[in-house]
Amino acid sequence: MSDLFPKKGHDHDRCVHSALAQAEKVCDRENARFTDMRRKVFTLIWQSHKAVTAYELLDALTAEGQRVQPPTVYRALEFLTELGLVHRIESLNAYFGCDRPDCEHLGQYFICTDCGRVAEAVNEDMSNAVRKAARSVGFTIQATTVEIKGLCHDCATH
């Protein structure tokens, strides 16, 4: 069994750091500005293994001493999702950092209803099944939402 969810004691700071580096690269490539606000929101999202709501981000920014209004957060989220740096989890109205912002993919999300952690998978079997099903009914895919709720291995066994 592969470990989709992070192991205990993994070096999280390093994940965040590397995510930031990737994000910078993507922004560079797209000629998009990775402003302070966008970087802050991105970092806050990556500091959690859970999906984070816009208002949680707002509160976190406020706690950091910023005086921030909802539109500011939503704009940053819009920017980050458009670049694929962050994904929206529709069934949670919340946002989650993307591991692989550098390549096009149909992502799938496993959401543990016990511990709240989220993990992104890029499973080609699932993606292909979706693409094939769409093709078979003459449907042209623009975007997909695949969210799977249940118990992660840790929570199921403990």
Q: By CB under 8 A, name the binding residues for a copy of itself.
A: 1-5, 90-91, 108, 110, 112-113, 119, 121, 123, 125-126, 128-130, 132-134, 136-153, 156
- Tell me which of DNA, a copy of itself, none is bound by residue 119, counting a contact when its beta carbon lies within the kind-specific cut-off of 5 to 8 angstroms: a copy of itself
Least CB distance to DNA at residue 33 (A): 4
**Side chain identity at residue 57, one-letter code:** L
Comparing CB distances to a copy of itself, the nearer of 21 and 133 is 133
Q: Residue 115, class by beta-carbon neighbours within 10 Å (0-12 exposed, 13-18 middle, 19+ buried)?
A: middle
Handedness of CA 154, 20, 18, 16 (dihedral sign): negative
Cα 108 from Cα 26, distance rounded (Å) = 21
Q: Which residue ranges make up the site for DNA (CB under 7 A)? A: 32-33, 35-38, 53-55, 66-72, 74-76, 79, 93
Residues for the chain: how many in total?
A: 158
- Tell me which of a copy of itself, DNA, none is bound by residue 70, counting a contact when its beta carbon lies within the kind-specific cut-off of 5 to 8 angstroms: DNA
